[in-house]
Structure 1
Amino acid sequence: MARDNFPEPVKRELALRAAYFCSNPFCLRLTAGPGSDSSRGLKTGHAAHICAASPGFARYDANQSPEERSSPDNGLWLCRECGDIVDKDAVGYPVDTLRGWKRSHDNMIAEIRQKGWSDSLELLRAGRLEPDIAEQVVALIEDRRVFWARFDAEFPDRVRMSLDNLRHELTKLRRQCRAGGPLDTMIVALGQTIRHFYDSVEHLDMATLRCSSGDPDWSYFEQALRALRKSIGIQLVALAQAYEIPVQGEFAKYFAPD
């Protein structure tokens, strides 16, 4: 039986909606970046079917029409590894889970790419304003273990202190920017993302919380920190690319192209 594959325009739409990041909330892989040829980019990733394209595969729904199976509503953008796993494991990754991934990732990207942020990014790409400050922003974030250390090596209170210090340093950098300018807007967005993380974990006792797979509070904290890392990563990679600043160190390993 023929497969109801995604047409190329649908694949492109899914990739763009995901900002070329894997939609799995437990994954940080970026699926686009520079290739070995300096004149060409490298695009990887996988437009995965939520309900399979043909019978006998994961989550196939006989009630769907061919048009529904090959529509953007039935797809989500994943890195190659996550796409392969999801395509082979219907029990571990049911329809509701995948739709939840897509909805959460779409919401996160929409929150980041609000109009002021998007307009500012385009201005930065065109003019590369205040490059010294942009380099300092990238260096501040890529050097912080809170954005790349193993979760079982993290202490929530240490995460809070590191983020408090980062917000303080970002505020100092804002004083060097033109108020309301594009780079100022980008720095404000980074601060808002951190505040959103604080709001989400406000009910937790960060001073006593420790890594424990059986503790629902730890699981909640880990999910919130994963979301923070991905959101900050998307913003920082966009800023670095606008200025052609290479992202380095352990942080770069998480956001290197798949």
Structure 2
Amino acid sequence: MRPIVLLTGASAGIGEEIAVKLSEKYDLILTGRNTEKLNELQQKLTPECKSYVLSMDLSNLEKMETTLLEFLKDQNINIHKLVHCAGFMKMIPLKLINNDFMLECFTTNVFSASLLVKLLTNKKHNNSLLDAVVFISSNISNRGAKAMSTYGASKSALDGLMRNFAVELAPKVRLNSVLPGAVLTKMTQNIFDNEDVMSRMQAQYPLGIGYGADIADAVNFLLSDEARWITGQQMTVDGGRSINISS
């Protein structure tokens, strides 16, 4: 019997690549708000993968909890691994930030992750079978950028959550984060189509722009037994951007 992975944000570019990669050795619960895209994604998975589609809005924590617990009960299944790829990101300067924006960003990026780990480590709800978690963070977690204060703070909080859970839940559960840099996906294609942006990115990234598969490979490793002695770590996958001080 193949282990089951719950993947949030599966309908997005990076989430889709993660799903395809993980389908090689795991069964998947694909979550997101766009059911049509999730259904299309199922057709891209390996034939051996048994997959489920679960429409879930992470910005509504109460509804998210009810939806997930009812699903687990109805399907009579348990989740062994969690990949939290869903994220809320908007570039907004400080003078335009309001309470609703900050709450939605932190609820989707951080609070939902905390609640998911809580539910999946519960013996009553999931037989305490969760053994590995990967949060998709961002290389901005340890850096800074204009108009990114709320998003950046939420990713820093997500990594802080990861480190504390890693200590609290060891040795039963391993938790790590993957911090991507600029990744070319369908959602970001229009950004990279700008010649000025692409030229600047190529100068900043020693190994060039990344792809969703680069992030998927990192996630796959961190979930595997090969990473059995790795927990509480930020794995930066950004083509060398974070160590390049020459540009």
- TM > 0.5: no
Structure with more of its chain in strand, by fraction: 2
Structure with more of its chain in helix, by fraction: 1
Task: Give the number of the structure with larger relative contact order, counting CA–CA contacts within 8 Å between residues 6 or more apart.
Answer: 1
Task: Please identify the structure whose Cα radius of gyration is greater.
Answer: 1
